[in-house]
Every structure is written in structure tokens, then in C-alpha cells.
Amino acid sequence: MDLTWWIAALFLPLFPFSAVFVVLVRKMSNTWLKGLVFLLWPQPGVWLVINNAGIIPQWLLYWAIGTAILYAFRALVLRELFQWLSFIAASAWSILWIVYSGNNAPDLMLFALGFSLPMALMVLIGGDLEKRFSTVYAGLYGGISESHPRLSAMFVFTLLAVIATPLFPGFFTMMSSIMAQMLVTPVIALGLLLVWLFWSWSGILMLQGLVMGPFDEATSRKPDLGALRTAWYSLSLVAVGVFGLSFAVVF
Amino acid sequence: MALSLGGKLGIRSRVYVAGKPIPFFWPMRSFIHHNPLHGLENMPFDEALIKARKLFHANTYLSRSQYRAYLEDGKVCRDALLLLSGQAAQELKQDLDINLAGLFANLLTESVEPVTTDKVSFSTQAVWQALHRQPTDPTAIINDGDLQEYLNHKLSPDRPLYEKIDALFDLGIGEELDELVIKSCLDFFDEGQSVWKMPERKKGFFQAWYALASRNRWLSRRARFIQQVVQDPGSPEDVIDTVMRRMQVPEDAWQSYFTYELSRLHGWVGFIRWRENAKNYHWSNRYPADLVEYLAIRLTLSLALIEDRAQKTGLLNMPAINKAIENRTAELFLRHELYSGSVFPPLAQQVEAHIAIDQQSAIEVFCKQYLLKKAQHESSQCADRLTRLMHDCGDGEALSGLSVEQLDHLLHALREFERREGQLWLEAMECQSTNDLLEKISFAAVPERKKRPFAQALFCIDTRSERIRRHLESVGDYQTFGIAGFFGVPFSFMELGKGSETHLCPILLTPKNLVLEITRDETIMDEAALSALEKVIHELKESIFSPFVTVEAIGLLFGFDMFGKTLAPRTYNGLRKHLHSDKPITYLLQDKLSREQADSVVRAVQRALIESAIEVELGLSKEKITDDMVREIRECALELEQVAPMLEKELSMDEATLEAFIDRLQDDYNINPAFARLQLERLARIGFNLDEQVNFVVTALKSIGMTGPFSRFVLLMGHGSRSENNPYESALDCGACGGNHGLFNARVLAYMANKPRVRDRLQREGLDIADDVWFIPAMHNTTTDDMHLYDLELLPSSHLIYLDRLRNGLIAASRLCAQERLLTLDDQSPQREPAKAFIDVQRNAMDWSQVRPEWGLSRNAYFIIGRRDLTLGKDLAGRSFLHSYDYRIDPKCRLLENIFGGPLVVGQWINMEHYFSTVDNQRLGSGSKVYHNVAGRFGVMTGNLSDLRTGLPAQTVLLRGEPYHEPVRLITVIEAPFESTLKALEAVAAVSRLVRNQWIRLIIIDPQTRLIHRYEKNEWIRQPVSEAQPVISSEEGNV
């Protein structure tokens, strides 16, 4: 395995190289910059992998699925949104190795973007939450569904996109990968299903801790999202949905 | 080791006292409005609310923003608010040279957020430094000793051990424990909802649970302690003692520990408390349970869970927690911050990371940084708010000149004021409500009527009657009265086709008399067949396997049902009604049986049983059974005679066989002297004797001042409600009838009042009721405003000609009332025509998706005891209980005492239930109806597993998330001479206590002196009726 793979393992994170991305996200405070990192981080890795055009050894696929499972599982206990998101990102991008091995090399960039777009959007929405409540930490303040309906709606739909629910691009990526691996390496297919389960589970925990719950007087004093920003987020979400549907057409 | 009898009694008495603050929970079939803080009524209102806040973790006042919205809407008296703020400023002033009154007033009316907080991180010095833009001195934050004190306070010994562990480790033990206990309760207390019943329930709650627990591998695997209990359960008292000693809870804290433990699932505990006291409750007699058993189960499970998690926490008992606080103060403090939700948000992740690393030295260093940052943030926040507040009051410069000590005084005063502010808002709101009412009350003398009204109607005192009474009075020559909805006749009722008794009277009374509903028709059999069919379908739905088949087989039928109920509820329900035959004409058995009649009934029953026994047991056919034979057997069974040889011959059996048959009759067929006596006693309960009937009629009429002249029609208007898919339906029924419809009480009183022998005796009592006066029972459906007359077959023919006019009047009133009421239910649409509104409210009642068929008693605020003329023609918006009363015919105030002891107490319960359901609908109400599921057929839970939801649902007291009910204490106005009212009040200790402790706001209007007397803060304040303006100060005119 040449150096290119090792560098790619940094951007399509494989444990322990993934720690670089996780630590970097933790250190960053600027929301826009953080969003940009989530959007672009896997692209150098994708470029390296595609241009290397080598055949990925089987053990690397197991390494990738191991990383994906590890981060998805660890995400279950995380309560801080950005940290959780960085773990989900590490988990999702490591799956791109498996996508690549499933003869989807030409579209790998799109697949990567399919995972990254909702995450970048989530960073921006997380920034809005952070601005209002000092932190985005599940279970710390009362549910915002009643007091901040717009912000909650945007958060819920974006989170659904992040955890790869139907219509969003991640869903089709996961489906195609599982289908591709089902007959070739059923263990990896099972691993992918397990990862998906962990994403959904941890996502629901995040929703429970941030959106659901009793109305809180102190929380309700902060303003909800403005109409313009809501429209902007909604359009972005629709765009991500349409992007996802284009995946469905391709497959 | 087993406890001695004294030890067991000690545990029992502690549990009993510990459970007192938990309110009863009645089964929802007959919803009883009650004060959720009934157990705290011996305390002054404001103190009780502080205790309740701690006990139930509930809000007990509305938020400042909500009160401010009321202030802007003119629902809070601004003058009173300022006056009360000024009084508070006087009390809290100390040596400060600051306009505290202005500061407080500004705080209430301008500031959004509280200035002071209950935070631990900073001292006043830190705020002072923040005010002077100086960096926070690390010494200004709290030290280790303070932290220990803080933790010891937060984790006090009376708090359950697992709660403390959860507060430090977030293990969710409490939630898991609640789930396990709720499951056990659901299994045991089920009243026919589950198809598979819990075994061995007759042995009692603890024994039945133990029988299951001993077979439950999951439980026995859980911890050593469960295994020990399973091996040697002992009595529940033994188990409680063992667990408490094992957890090493100090013995003097046991009682308060029990209280906190019980208050955690206060719905279930309230139900068990009620159940163990309900001696006539079928399910309680059959499957007994009490609080001691409940607590034993709960404590056992809690200890098992604590032991199970001990590996993670290392905390098994109270001393272990105390030791941990001493040795690992910083860690435990940070844990408490993180898991109790008070962590400084930007540092939450770091706190979590440091806890995870588990290095004491690093934690201690971090804790100091954490405290400093938190102190900086919170003290500067406090300083900013204080500066803004002072600046708004024009005292900005004074603030900068304060010393640390003075600032400390100021913060203390503000903190204390903010703690009391809810009570201030409430009093100012009540002041406005009182003023609004007094403005509407007419003090003018009313001329006597020249002729009798066309009809008189007695309505329940219920607030919903106010609207319909007002409209009825407006459409014609009608006079209305308000009386407790059971019409003063308490009785136990056995409805046609039902085998159990229902108490139709306020819950405070225990009825002596029984009334039976009977019919001559035989349609009841058809009805039974239909009921059986419905039961079969219900059971098919409930069981585990059958739904798979039933959905295929008859699912389509349910589909039709669903579409019909959803898309066209009125039409569909109209058609569906035809499936059920109409209820046959029924009569009420309400005259007392004479001794001979009772004997005869018992004899007839015994004879029928013996005939049946001879047929079944001895195989003799009917024609061979003679009357003499039956009589002789009966007398032998009742031990009145020896077995005669002739009988042996007739039955062709030997002496031993005959004696065995007689024994069987005595044991299995209950034909024995003891049971015969019991039957006679039971029969003696049926009906009322003449004296009782006369007494009830006299008391009912005189208590409302109805002494004549009487109209041709006197309507006794019971009330109730009908709605679809609504477990809270009985909450909308008549509270005075124990949460049932009031029709039967109306029928009983009408029967008595129409009886010629009663009329004769009434004349002697000074009630001259003309022969053409006829009492008609009627029913007011509060959901549709429909009023229906009953027992018209008994109406004299001479009255039929007037019946149309009466009906037209009632229909007109119904429509007008529906029109007015519909605006409150649907405030988005314009006012509808009365006829259209009447149709729309009927649709509401039939719509199974309608979560708010009516507002019920929401917005109740007043209780007026006096003549109708006080508020005649005035729109009280359905907010007032109206009890008619004429002091002139009650010189000794005996009738007033009755009103105090019954209706007023019920009114106060209703009022308090609405109050607390509004101020904290999640904790003291029952949350949204949308998520409710019926539990065990006696209550509702949120979702599939929760505490039994007590109180009222959000849809009853909130509108779009904001309070619809305006929570104030019951403002009670009595029109009667002051001195005699006071005497009556003193005679009813329960009400006197409620007034003294300010659970009721009392106003007495003395018509003789024309003075208004208001009870404010332990003093009577008086003012002339013409100057009915707010009086808050206690300085003027004290009596």
C-alpha cells in the first residue's frame, strides 16, 4: 500500500487517522469554517483514491467498516452536537472506501458530497442553536419544539438527512453499498446495517435531548429563526432532497 | 429478622403520615374534582405552595410573563400590585437608601428575566466586582467547604438514595424503577382491561408481586437483595425495615424519605390511598392493597437496582454518599452540575470529559477554573440585570455607590421579593377579579313579583348553569334558582341492568338510602345480548392473538365505523343509535318498604331459590314441588323447625340425605338466618320514609330561598355531558352527584315533591304548594346545551297545553347559550346564528376526534351565595357558581352551614384543581389528552407507561399552550348578615380553616348594614357597598 492510501485514510478517515479530523472539529470555533470543513474534508481523499485507481485490499474494507462501526457506536453516548456530528462524519466517510470498492468509483465524489451536504447544513443550524443557548448539548435545556418551532423543524429534517433516512442522498448511498456487498461480503453488509442502526439510534437520542421535552421558560426567551433564514435552510434541504432523488434515478 | 408488632405498627404509622400530602385519586369512571394539595390545606396557602413545589417539583404560580400579559389585558389590578410591592419593600428595606418599592414595581412590570438566581458559584463580592468592571477575584467564589455544604443540602437524607445516585451518575435508576413499579401496579390493579390476569391477586399486592418476582429470572438475576427477598419475603413492614437499614437512612429521616418516595408516582399512590379507604369498592375488597405494600415493593426494587449499579458507582448506602462528598468534593460537584442540568453550558463538554478521565487532581484543578468562569459569567449577568433595573428606576448612580454589604442587602431583598412575587401577582389578580364582580353585583332592593312566573327552574350551582340560566331568564317569564346538583338528596343508586351501586351525592357524604331503577319492559334482555356482542368484540381486540384474525374477518366493519365517526359524526351516530334499542320507561323504587313488605320480598326470593335447588339438586320436576314442601324446607333451613318425617317421605329420601340437602341450601344458596337478616338489612336501605322525603324537600327548597309562590312548572334540572372517545367525560358531569349525571337525583326529588302525602306535610312546614304545581325532572346536557324533560307520562293532563310553550322556551335558551359558548370553543370563526351554533355544538359532542367537546368548569372564579337578584341579567361569562340563598328564612344560619359544608367545599376543590392544572399542567395536571391511554379501566397514562395522570388535561385549561383558565382562588361572596355568617363559618371547621389559610377568598355582603366585609391576611376589612373598590391595605376599617 503506497503513501497515497495513507494520506487518503486521513480524509476518508480510518481509525486512528480519523482522530485528526475529530480533534480539528473540536478545536474550531468559527461556524462557517467548520461547515466548510465538513463539506470539503473528504474530497481530497476521494480525489486521491480515484486517481490512484488501485484495487482496495479486502483487509482495508474491514478496517473501514470497523472504523464506521466504532464511531457510530461511540456516537451513541455523545451529547454535544458538533462532537456527535464529527463522529457520524468519520463513520460515514469511512464507508466511502466500501462504496468505492463496489464499482462506484466515478460517482464517489457525489457520494461524498451526499454525506457532507446535510452535515454542513447541520453545522450551520447548530451554530444558530449555539448562538441562542451557548452550547448545543443534549438534555441541558428544555425541549425547543414548542418555543422554537422553525429552528426545531430545520434541525429535525437536517438530522434526518444526516442519519441517511429515505429521500436524502445518504440513504441511497447506504442502500447501494449494502446491496453491492450483500452477496460479495455479507459481513460488511451486516456491518453497514449495524452502522445505520447506530446512526438512527444516536440521532433519535440527540433529537430527544434537544427538541423534545417540556417547555422551558428560560429557553423560550431566545428568538426563533427568522423567516429569511428559515426559507434559506428549507431551500437547502429541498436541494439536498432533490440531490438525493437524483441518486435514486442513477441507481 | 421479623419485626415485633410494635415495630410493624411503627412502620405503618410512618407510611400513613408520609402519604398524607398525596391527594386521593378516584377512578375516572366518576371523576372527582379535588384539590391536588388537599393534604396541605392545614397550612397557609403560600406556605403550602412552597412545600408543594419541593414535593412535586412543580410550579405553583404562573410565570412573570404570563402575569404581565394579564396585567396588560386589565386582568391584574395595577394599583393593588403597586400597593403590594410597596408593602413588600417596607418589610425588606433594612438600611438601604434606595426606592425599593419602585424597584420592585419595575421588576414586575418591566423586567423579563429574574435579577437574582439561586446559583452557588459566586458571592456578592463577585457581583460587586462585576458592577465595577473589576476582574472576578478567585477568592470571591465558593470554596470546598461551601461546596460540601451545597452538596449536602442538595442531596439531603430525605431524598431517595437512587435519586442522589442519578443526580451524580445519570444512570436512570429512578426512571427504571418507576417503570418496574408501574408495570407491577398495572398488573395488580387492572379492572378488566387485560385479558391475562395477574395470578394470586386475592392474596394482596405484596404477596401477588412476590409470587411473580420469585419466578422472574430477570429480577432475581438483578441483585442479591432480590434473591434474599424471594427466599424469605416476610411481611411488607419487615421488607421496608430491612431496606431502610441496609441503605443506612437515618431513622429520623424515614418519614420524609417515605414521603418523597411516595410523591414520585403520586397518581398511583393517590389511587392506592383512595382504594384502601374505599370500603365498598368492589375491586378493593377483592384484591386488597395498601401503601405499605406499595412501598415495600418500591424499596425492594430500588435497592436491587442500586446494588446492580454499585459496580459503576461504588455507592450502596447513605454514608457512602456522604463519604464521597467529603473525599471527592470537586468530582461530585461537577457531576451534580452536569446531571442536574445546572452546568455552565459552554463548559458542559469539558465537564463531561474531565469526569470521564477520572483523575482527582485534574478534576480539582478544572473545578476551580469551572467555578471561576461560571462565577464570572453569572455575576456579570446579575450585575447587568441589576444595572438595567436600577437605571430604569432612575437609581443608576446609587448602585455604583453601594458597598459590598449594602449590595448584599439589596440582592437579598430582591431574591426574597422574587421568591414571593407569584403570590403578589395572584393577590393583585384576585383583587381585579373581585372588583369586576362587585361592579356587576346589584345592591338595589328588588320589588316583589306581582304574579308567579310561568316556570321556575332549579339548576345546579355549576358555573355552566350560569349561562343557560341567564338565557332562559331572558327568553320569557322564567325564574331560576341554584342548588347543589344532587338537589340535597344523597342516595346510592342501582341503575337498570347494572349490578353495582353508584353514590349520587358529593364525595364528602356517605348515603344511607338506596334507590333502584326498575322497568316493566323486557327489552333489557335484548340490550344484554347486544352488550355481550360488544364485549366479545372488545375482548377480541384486547387479546394477543385474535387481532390477527379479526382484522381480516371484521376489519372492514371497523373501517366503516372509522370513516363514519370521522367524516360525518352527527349523521353516522344518529344511524348507529338505532342499533341500540331506546332505554325502556323506568321507575324508581324510592318508597321505603314496610317490615311486612320486606319480609315478603325475602320470603319470595328464598322460595324461588329453594324451588330451583330442588329441581337442580334433587331432580324433581316442577309439578311435584308443592308450596307446603317449599315452606317446610325453608323453615328447616332457617332453623325455625326440625326436619319433619313427612318431608322425607315426600322427597323420597332418608334423613341424612335430607339434612345434607338442607346444609347445602344454608351454605351454598345462602338460605340461613344470618343471611336472611342481612337481606332484610339491605332491603331496609331501599327508599326513603315519609319523614325523610318531607325533610329533603323542605331543606332543598328552603336552602335556596324558594318558599313560594310556586309556578305551574318547577323544573329540577340535573346536568351531565355526553361526548365521544373521552375518558374525561365524567369530569364534565355533575361534581355534586359524585361525577355522575344529575338526572336521577332530579327524578327522586320530583317524585317526592309531587307526592300528595308529602305536599300535605309540607304545608305544615310552611311551604304552601298549590295543587297545580308540578315538579318535572329535566336534564341539561352541558356539551350541547340541550335541555330535555323527563317523566312526562306522570304529568297531569291539565298541564299538557302549556308544555309547548315550555319546550319552546327551553329550546330558545339552549340555542342562545350554544351561540355564546361556541365563541369560546372556536374563537377563530365569526359568531354563528343560534340554530347553527346549536347544531355545531352537537357535532362537537359526537366527534370522536374532538379533544375539547366543551370547556367544562374552566375559568371558574366565583362562588356567590345569595339571592339571584344580586346578579340577575348580568353576564358572568360562566365563571361563577351560583347558589341561591335567602338569609331572611334562615335566621340561625343552619342552611348556610349546610352550604358551607357541602357545595362550597366541592366548589373549592374544583377551583383548586383548575388552578393547579393550569399553573403546571405537566406535574399537577395531566398533560395533553392526545397522548393519553386508558390504564386498567380506572385511569389514564401518558403513552404506554407513566404515572396515573391526575388533574385536568391541557385541553381543559389551556388554549394554544396559554392558560385559558385564569387561575385565582375561589372568590366567595355571601349575602347574609355579617355576625351570623361568622358564626356559621366557625361551626364548619373545615371551611373556617380554608378561609383562615386563604384557600378561599371570602367576601360577606351584609344587606342589613350595607357593608362589604373582606377577609384579607387574617383581618376583616369593611367598606360600604357603594364604594366597592379595591382594598388591600389593612389599615382602614378593621373589624
> What is the SS3 assignment for B13?
helix
Give yes or no: residues B376 and B470 share one domain. no
| B709 neighbors B479 (Cβ within 8 angstroms) | no
Inspect the interface and report whether the beta carbons of B349 and A214 lie closer than 8 Å: no
Inform me whether the pLDDT recorded for B578 exceeds 50: yes
**Residues contacting residue B49 through CB under 8 Å, at least 6 positions apart:** B37, B60, B61, B422, B423
Give the residue from chain B lying closest to A84, CA to CA.
B349
Q: Nearest-CA neighbor of B456 among B120, B773, B780, B724?
A: B773
| Predicted pLDDT at B481 | 96
Give A-chain residues touching B352 at CB under 8 angstroms: 79-80
- Window from A160-164, B307-311, B928-932 with minimum mean pLDDT: B307-311
| Predicted pLDDT at B392 | 85
Give B799: exposed, middle or buried? Use CB within 10 Å, 0-12, 13-18, 19+. Answer: middle
- Taking the CA of residue B348 and the nearest CA in chain A, the distance in Å comes to 7
> What is the SS3 assignment for B755?
coil
Taking residue B909's Cβ as centre, other Cβ atoms within 10 Å add up to 22
Give Cα separations from B91 to B96, B190, B223, B316, B415 (angstroms).
12, 54, 56, 47, 13
Higher-confidence residue: B856 or B559? B856
Between CA B320 and CA B8, with CA B310 as vertex, the angle to 5 degrees is 70
Q: Which residue among B113, B349, B922 places its CB closest to the CB of A214?
A: B922
Give A-chain residues touching B343 at CB under 8 angstroms: 140
Q: Which domain holds residue B664?
A: 598-685
Inform me whether the pLDDT recorded for B1038 exceeds 50: no
**Residue B450 located in a structural domain:** no
Q: Indicate the residue among B660, B685, B710 that finishes a domain.
A: B685
Give yes or no: residues B696 and B678 share one domain. no
**Residue B299 located in a structural domain:** no
Give me Rg for the CA atoms of chain A: 18
End-to-end CA distance of chain A: 31
| Predicted pLDDT at B1033 | 41
Q: Tell whether A134 is within 8 A of chain B (Cβ).
A: yes
Strand B939-942 versus strand B713-720 pairing type: unpaired
| B464 neighbors B719 (Cβ within 8 angstroms) | yes
| Predicted pLDDT at B477 | 94
Q: What band does B522 get if pLDDT is binned at 50, 70 and 90?
A: low
Inform me whether the pLDDT recorded for B488 exceeds 80: yes
Q: Nearest-CA neighbor of B1021 among B1032, B1007, B1010, B1008?
A: B1032
Give yes or no: residues B698 and B663 share one domain. no
Strand B586-589 versus strand B713-720 pairing type: unpaired
Q: What band does B526 get if pLDDT is binned at 50, 70 and 90?
A: low
| Predicted pLDDT at B67 | 95
Inspect the interface and report whether the beta carbons of B348 and A139 lie closer than 8 Å: no
Inspect the interface and report whether the beta carbons of B343 and A134 lie closer than 8 Å: no
**Residues contacting residue B568 through CB under 8 Å, at least 6 positions apart:** none
Q: Nearest-CA neighbor of B686 among B491, B506, B486?
A: B491
**Residue B160 located in a structural domain:** no
Q: What are phi and psi of A201, to 5 degrees?
A: -60, -50
pLDDT in tens, B413-429: 999 999 999 999 999 99
Lookup: cell for B285: 375488597
Give yes or no: residues B578 and B705 share one domain. no
Higher-confidence residue: A251 or B748? B748
Q: Which residue among A133, A146, A215 places its CB closest to the CB of B345?
A: A133
Top residue of A133, A140, A205 to mutate, by most chain B CBs within 10 Å, is A140
Give the residue from chain A lying closest to B961, CA to CA.
A146
Give yes or no: residues B72 and B142 share one domain. yes
Inspect the interface and report whether the beta carbons of B112 and A221 lie closer than 8 Å: yes
Q: Which residue type, as a one-letter code, is found at position B873?
A: G
Give yes or no: residues B512 and B537 share one domain. no
Inspect the interface and report whether the beta carbons of B63 and A218 lie closer than 8 Å: no
| B690 neighbors B675 (Cβ within 8 angstroms) | no
Higher-confidence residue: B295 or B550? B295
Mean pLDDT of A93-98: 94
Give yes or no: residues B375 and B483 share one domain. no
Between CA B114 and CA B123, with CA B119 as vertex, the angle to 5 degrees is 105
The residues in A 165-184 lying below 8 A from B, measured between CB atoms, are none
Give yes or no: residues B359 and B483 share one domain. no
pLDDT in tens, A123-146: 999 999 999 988 899 888 767 888
End-to-end CA distance of chain B: 62
**Residue B816 located in a structural domain:** yes
- Window from A62-71, B105-114, B142-151 with minimum mean pLDDT: B142-151
Lookup: cell for A224: 426563533
Map grid coordinates 325533610 to a residue.
B695
| Predicted pLDDT at B1034 | 40
Inform me whether the pLDDT recorded for B1029 exceeds 50: no
Give the residue from chain A lying closest to B339, CA to CA.
A140
Map grid coordinates 466500501 to a residue.
A98
Number of domain units in chain B: 4
Give yes or no: residues B639 and B763 share one domain. no
Give yes or no: residues B503 and B610 share one domain. no
Give Cα separations from B819 to A218, B733, B839, B882 (angstroms).
40, 21, 10, 21
Lookup: cell for A185: 461480503
Give the residue from chain A lying closest to B377, CA to CA.
A134
- Window from A224-238, B162-176, B304-318, B936-950 with minimum mean pLDDT: B304-318
Give A-chain residues touching B113 at CB under 8 angstroms: 218, 221
Inform me whether the pLDDT recorded for B527 exceeds 60: no
**Residue B476 located in a structural domain:** yes
ipTM for the whole complex:
0.82
Give Cα B849 to chain centroid, integer Å: 24
Q: What band does B73 get if pLDDT is binned at 50, 70 and 90?
A: very high
Q: Indicate the residue among B402, B433, B464 that finishes a domain.
A: B433
- Taking the CA of residue A221 and the nearest CA in chain B, the distance in Å comes to 9
> What is the SS3 assignment for B1003?
strand
Give yes or no: residues B631 and B734 share one domain. no
**Residue B873 located in a structural domain:** yes
List helix spans (H) across chain A: 3-11, 18-27, 31-40, 42-52, 58-75, 81-101, 108-133, 149-162, 169-184, 186-210, 217-220, 227-250
Inform me whether the pLDDT recorded for B531 exceeds 70: no
**Residues contacting residue B585 through CB under 8 Å, at least 6 positions apart:** B519, B520, B521, B793
Inform me whether the pLDDT recorded for B530 exceeds 50: yes
Q: Tell whether A30 is within 8 A of chain B (Cβ).
A: no
Give the distance between the most distant pair of CA atoms in chain B. 116
Q: Indicate the residue among B648, B670, B685 that finishes a domain.
A: B685
Give yes or no: residues B925 and B845 share one domain. yes
**Residue B312 located in a structural domain:** no
- Taking the CA of residue A37 and the nearest CA in chain B, the distance in Å comes to 21
**Residue B56 located in a structural domain:** no
Global pTM value: 0.87
Give Cα separations from A123 to A81, A86, A127, B686 (angstroms).
9, 10, 6, 75
- Taking the CA of residue B374 and the nearest CA in chain A, the distance in Å comes to 13
Give the residue from chain B lying closest to A218, CA to CA.
B113
